[in-house]
């Protein structure tokens, strides 16, 4: 059971129509799914981040998307942390991970960046890695495709239906972290591939 009264869920991605359905925007897709599930609009905005709020089992939950590019995710998230006095431990950051097979979820408290530039930016800005992460597996590129090309490429048509299930499952994992606590959510969701 969660004893915190305030949490911030941030989905990482890149802004704009060009990137909307790319692998690197998986974090945005998950917070969009949460917004739809909770009927929350991203109606509030600070300079470089948009967010909405929802009350869930006595927790004031903020869901947010930075408006700048992935590699500069830290400063916008810090704006929201500062404005609403979040502790880093109150954060859940949702993002894509090429080191996990497509559809695999992994929840972790604290840790390093794993080479993810959005997480690197957040850690550099915070000076800390003391936040919860939900990594959503997008798989490695096929031979001959570089990593940047892979993450900035839209999902294949054959992946779109499974992707919807992955996004729903990731949103369910965030919900479980908030309602049941991180350890319980880890036991339910970690390593389970769609």
- The hierarchical CATH code for the domain 6-189 is 3.40.50.1470
What local confidence, expressed as pLDDT, does residue 193 receive? 67
Report whether 92 contacts 8 (CB < 8 A). yes
Global pTM exceeds 0.85: yes
**pLDDT attached to residue 4:** 65
User: Which segment of 57-61, 84-88, 124-128, 146-150 scores lowest on mean pLDDT?
Assistant: 146-150
1 pLDDT exceeds 80?
no
Tell me the pLDDT of the chain averaged across its residues. 91
Q: Domain extents for the chain?
A: 6-189
Residues recognised as catalytic: 24
- CA pair distance 43, 20, nearest whole angstrom: 19
- Beta-bridge partner residues of 22: 154
pLDDT exceeds cutoff 60 at 178: yes
């Amino acid at each position: 059971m969660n004893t915190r009264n305030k949490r911030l869920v941030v989905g990482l991605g890149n802004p704009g129509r060009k990137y909307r359905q790319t692998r690197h925007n998986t974090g945005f897709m998950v917070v969009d799914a949460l917004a739809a599930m909770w009927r929350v609009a991203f109606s509030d905005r600070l300079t470089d981040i948009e967010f909405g709020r929802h009350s869930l089992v006595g927790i004031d939950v903020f869901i947010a998307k930075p408006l700048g590019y992935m590699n500069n995710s830290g400063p916008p998230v810090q704006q929201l942390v500062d404005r609403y006095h979040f502790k880093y431990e109150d954060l859940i950051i949702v993002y894509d991970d090429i080191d996990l097979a497509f559809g695999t979820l992994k929840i972790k408290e604290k840790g390093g960046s794993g080479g993810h530039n959005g997480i690197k930016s957040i850690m550099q800005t915070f000076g800390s890695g003391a936040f919860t992460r939900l990594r959503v597996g997008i798989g490695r590129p096929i031979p001959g495709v570089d990593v940047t090309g892979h993450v900035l490429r839209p999902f294949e048509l054959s992946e779109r239906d499974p992707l919807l299930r992955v996004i729903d499952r990731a949103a369910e994992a965030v919900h479980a972290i908030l309602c049941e606590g991180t350890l319980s959510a880890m036991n339910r969701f970690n390593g389970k591939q769609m």
